[in-house]
Amino acid sequence: MDKSVTIKHVAKESGYSLATVSRVVNGNQNVKPATRKKVVEVIEKLNYRPNAIARGLASKKTTTIGVVIPDIANVFFSSLALGIDDVATMYKYNLIIANSDGIEEKEVNVLNTLLGKQVDGIIFMGHNLNDNIRAEFSRTRTPIVMAGTIDPDAQVASVNIDYTAATKDSTKKLVENGNEKVAFVTGPLIYPINGKERLSGYKQALKEEELEFNEGFVFEANYSFEDGQKVAERVHGSGATAAVVTDDDLAAGLLDGLLELGVKIPEEFEIIASNNSPITKMLRPRLSSISQPLYDLGAVSMRLLTKKMAGEEVEEKSIKLPYRIEKRGSTK
Amino acid sequence: MDKSVTIKHVAKESGYSLATVSRVVNGNQNVKPATRKKVVEVIEKLNYRPNAIARGLASKKTTTIGVVIPDIANVFFSSLALGIDDVATMYKYNLIIANSDGIEEKEVNVLNTLLGKQVDGIIFMGHNLNDNIRAEFSRTRTPIVMAGTIDPDAQVASVNIDYTAATKDSTKKLVENGNEKVAFVTGPLIYPINGKERLSGYKQALKEEELEFNEGFVFEANYSFEDGQKVAERVHGSGATAAVVTDDDLAAGLLDGLLELGVKIPEEFEIIASNNSPITKMLRPRLSSISQPLYDLGAVSMRLLTKKMAGEEVEEKSIKLPYRIEKRGSTK
DNA sequence: TTGAAAGCGCTAACAT
DNA sequence: ATGTTAGCGCTTTCAA
């Protein structure tokens, strides 16, 4: 089989040296066209395929990027991954994607595996960035970019939207629609994206609208449809007439739970979701949502990584992409 | 940095040879415990991390699996990927995931890249298996397993459910519920999974129920919510009172379109979807659906691949996993 | 139980 | 424009 065809065979068969064949394979210009032609012919005849591993060892470049992802089956992250992949492909990189389940120990683990595999760069996605991870980051010279992931200390390069501002805008919108009691239905507050960024956006909005912050309107839950359903009764019972929800599945569950209680949406209760994922457009009523450019978040992260890998000094460490609020049926 | 710590440094620092250090790293038993201990200490002290690339070159194993996926942001495939990843991790393999967009040319392309990277095995997911791909498959000795992907000729190892039987069951169920006109709303018929497997299941059901097959009840569309919405009017206009839909997004769109037309679900129209993805449980009414064990499909594929990589001769080439029909609100 | 040495397949100076 | 050669960091006989 072609399993064993190496550059040596091609060299021998074509009558040229290893170096020349290597040049042809790598598109080096210092090769006479006639030579190139002959070599290419032999390559095709022998069905030679360069061994990327050997190449990687010799050149210290693997054209492979490591991607740490908390859950590949989660639309939010897989959408980012799609953007990452497209740009990576554009730059001839492949992706080693490693699931971390969002568990710190696994994150450290896969990070080390990826570094062992000599990836040229790493894109990290996670819910929060703890010290262990940060320690690993600082132990390597491999360029790293975080996508859709908050670094409270802004040490590592990252690409995000301004979650604080987005949440603030959403909250204000709901207040302006006439709701004096706006609930904040959030994923785990230990994740900085919720506990820091979004919560402070929510508070800022209340302040600017001259409303009191009230802990009773903050509902913490997991990112899931079921949790949304479960929390619906309490949210409704609190007297709130609107909610900013930090996750789409959670928002979908809340919607479902409220409808189950006979609450009219948006007449009696308004909802704004956070990721503008496909389900927001499939539910009835459609969910209004903060629209994050997920694909772009991934794409820009990867683009940034290529720059860092090329050794370009990047001035802007924390890139913020623009967001919108997509008005649909769940708000007035 | 630890970037340059190699096995040589460890050997020198510990006073042992390369071979011994290598043995320690690889858990070889022929090492005196005392020696092992010393070497391990040096490894930790120096923060040595074996270079997987060099190892791959020397050992001809990369502990990396190539995964070809048509769309990583599609729940169906990303759920499979999750199963693949879990089992891969269990066996200490990493995944290079390459998006093919379901385009033949790219599939061939990424396949070659993966082989060039000396992956130890390949999991292929696609909509259909054309001759080009099959040709590539037969040119390599790298083990390959197809996940959730039909090979009409059953040449390549694959893991699926019995789509024909599942579609037949669904159709019969609808007929038994009293529907004499059951529509078949399908993704592209050029995909064997639709054009061969599912369509023939649909036909078989009609035959067994002594109903005529009528092309007018077959609606071809793309796998998307929008296409479902668009086709709703035609489906309803055809006089059909139920539909088997080969994709969940498509089914969701059909549901939405029908509701828009004022059709009562399930009283006036019943729907059975095909993938039991999360959205089937989020819509109102909930979509009844064929339930494929997506995660398992991936997990079993990967498990099968490990066997093939270990050189075990696998008797069963086409593994069929069990399916169920999940009854929910969209059927009576 | 340990070590020496020959590669794995390729790239990248350095020569010519 | 082409060739020679010394590695890249590791595994793996083969000896000792």
Of A3, A86, A249, the CB nearest to B141: A3
- In sequence order, the 6+-apart residues with CB closer than 8 A to the CB of A182 are A171, A174, A175, A206, A217, A240, A241, A242, A243, A244
Position A239 pLDDT exceeds 50: yes
**Is residue B252 in a domain?**
yes
Give the CA-to-C1' distance from A62 to C9 in angstroms.
14
Q: How far is A246 from chain B (nearest CA, A)?
A: 17
Position A326 pLDDT exceeds 90: yes
Taking the CB of residue B326, how many other CB atoms lie within 10 A of it? 17
Q: What is the mean pLDDT of residues A228-253?
A: 98
Residue at shortest CA–C1' distance from C8: B58
Q: Measure the CA–CA gap between B200 and B206, rounded to whole angstroms.
A: 10
Q: Dmax over Cα atoms in chain A, in whole Å?
A: 84
**Alpha-carbon distances of A20 from A50, A57, A92, rounded to whole Å:** 14, 19, 23
Q: B82, A62: Cβ pair inside 8 Å?
A: no
User: Which backbone phi and psi does A98 adopt, to 5 degrees?
Assistant: -125, 120
Place of tokens 């340059």: B4
A168 shares its domain with A269: yes
Residue at shortest CA–C1' distance from C6: B58
**Alpha-carbon distances of A10 from A5, A20, A31, B214, B265, rounded to whole Å:** 8, 10, 16, 59, 66
Mean pLDDT across chain B: 95
Q: Output helix, strand, coil percentages for chain B, rounded to the nearest 5.
A: 50, 15, 35
Strand ordering across the sheet containing A242-245: A218-220, A182-186, A242-245, A270-273, A288-291, A324-326
Q: CA geometry: angle at A292 spanning B257 and A322, to 5°?
A: 130
Residues engaging strand D (CB under 7 angstroms): A 15-20, 23, 29-32, 34-36, 54, 57-58, 60; B 4, 6-8, 18-19, 22-23, 25-26, 48, 50-51, 54-55, 57-59
Place of tokens 């609190």: A238
**Is residue B328 in a domain?**
no
What are the 10-residue block averages of pLDDT along chain B, 332 residues in total? 79 94 94 94 94 96 97 94 98 97 95 96 93 91 95 89 98 97 97 96 98 97 97 98 97 98 98 96 98 96 96 86 97 96
Contact residues on chain A for B62, CB-CB shorter than 8 A: 53
Q: B278, A225: Cβ pair inside 8 Å?
A: yes
Give the CA-to-C1' distance from B29 to D16 in angstroms.
19
Q: How far is A245 from chain B (nearest CA, A)?
A: 16
A277 shares its domain with A174: yes
Structure tokens at A316: 């802007």
Residue at shortest CA–C1' distance from C7: B58
**B6: nt with nearest C1' to CA:** D9
pLDDT number for residue B266: 97
In terms of DSSP bridges, do strands A64-69 and A121-124 run parallel, antiparallel, or are they unpaired?
Answer: parallel
For A254, which DSSP code?
A: H
pLDDT number for residue B128: 86
Q: Measure the CA–CA gap between B198 and B327, rounded to whole angstroms.
A: 19
B283 shares its domain with B298: no
Q: Measure the CA–CA gap between A125 and A145, rounded to whole angstroms.
A: 9
Q: Which domain holds residue A96?
A: 62-161+294-323
Residue of B nearest to A99 (CA): B85
Q: A72, B81: Cβ pair inside 8 Å?
A: yes
pLDDT number for residue B3: 59
Q: How far is A95 from chain B (nearest CA, A)?
A: 6
Answer left, alpha or beta for residue A224, where phi above 0 means left and psi between -120 and 50 means alpha: beta
Q: Measure the CA–CA gap between B210 and A289, rounded to whole angstroms.
A: 49
Taking the CB of residue A129, how many other CB atoms lie within 10 A of it? 23
In terms of DSSP bridges, do strands A94-99 and B94-99 run parallel, antiparallel, or are they unpaired?
Answer: antiparallel
The number of CA neighbours under 13 Å toward the Cβ of A291 is 11
**Is residue A274 in a domain?**
yes
Lowest-confidence segment of A1-5, A73-77, A262-266, B246-250 by average pLDDT: A1-5
- Write out the H or E segment, with its range, that includes residue B308: helix B294-309
CATH of residue B41's domain is 1.10.260.40
Place of tokens 């490591």: A66
Sign of CA dihedral A140, A145, A151, A154: positive
For B47, which DSSP code?
A: T
Beta bridge partners of B99: B69
Give the CA-to-C1' distance from A46 to C16 in angstroms.
30
Place of tokens 């979004």: A198
Q: What is the mean pLDDT of residues A11-31?
A: 93
B220 shares its domain with B311: no
pLDDT number for residue A173: 98
Q: How far is B78 from chain A (nearest CA, A)?
A: 5
Q: A53, B72: Cβ pair inside 8 Å?
A: no
In terms of DSSP bridges, do strands A121-124 and B182-186 run parallel, antiparallel, or are they unpaired?
Answer: unpaired
**Is residue A56 in a domain?**
no
**Is residue B329 in a domain?**
no
CB burial readout B234-255, b (16+ within 10 A) else e: ebbebebbbbbbbbbbbbbbbb
Of B3, B73, B95, the CB nearest to A78: B73
A167 shares its domain with A274: yes
Q: What is the mean pLDDT of residues A207-235?
A: 97
A191 shares its domain with A269: yes
Dump pLDDT digits (tens) for A250-285.
999 999 999 999 999 999 999 999 999 999 999 999
Query: Is the Cβ–Cβ distance between B245 and B270 less than 8 Å?
Result: no
pLDDT number for residue A1: 41
| Nearest residue to B287 via CA among B298, B302, B276 | B276
CATH of residue B98's domain is 3.40.50.2300
User: Which backbone phi and psi does A270 adopt, to 5 degrees?
Assistant: -110, 150
B306 shares its domain with B270: no
Dump pLDDT digits (tens) for B20-65.
999 999 999 989 999 999 999 999 999 999 999 999 999 999 999 9
Position A176 pLDDT exceeds 60: yes
B80 shares its domain with B182: no
Number of domains into which chain B is organized? 3
Q: Measure the CA–CA gap between A132 and A111, rounded to whole angstroms.
A: 11
Q: A140, B2: Cβ pair inside 8 Å?
A: yes
Give the CA-to-C1' distance from A17 to D4 in angstroms.
9
B280 shares its domain with B301: no
Place of tokens 């939010």: A76
**Is residue A141 in a domain?**
yes
Contact residues on chain B for A64, CB-CB shorter than 8 A: 96, 117
Residues in chain A: 332
Listed as ranges, the nucleotides of chain C within 7 A of a protein C-beta are 1-13
Instruction: Provide the strand spans (E) within A236-294.
Output: 242-245, 270-273, 288-291
Sign of CA dihedral B236, B239, B241, B245: negative
B193 shares its domain with B262: yes
**A6: nt with nearest C1' to CA:** C9
A259 shares its domain with A317: no
**A55: nt with nearest C1' to CA:** C10
| Nearest residue to B149 via CA among B57, B84, B214 | B84
**B55: nt with nearest C1' to CA:** D10
Q: What is the mean pLDDT of residues A61-87?
A: 96
Beta bridge partners of A288: A272
SS3 B17: coil
**Is residue A68 in a domain?**
yes
B200 shares its domain with B216: yes
Dump pLDDT digits (tens) for B281-303.
999 999 999 999 999 999 999 99
**Is residue A255 in a domain?**
yes
Q: Measure the CA–CA gap between B231 and B253, rounded to whole angstroms.
A: 9
Mean pLDDT across chain A: 95
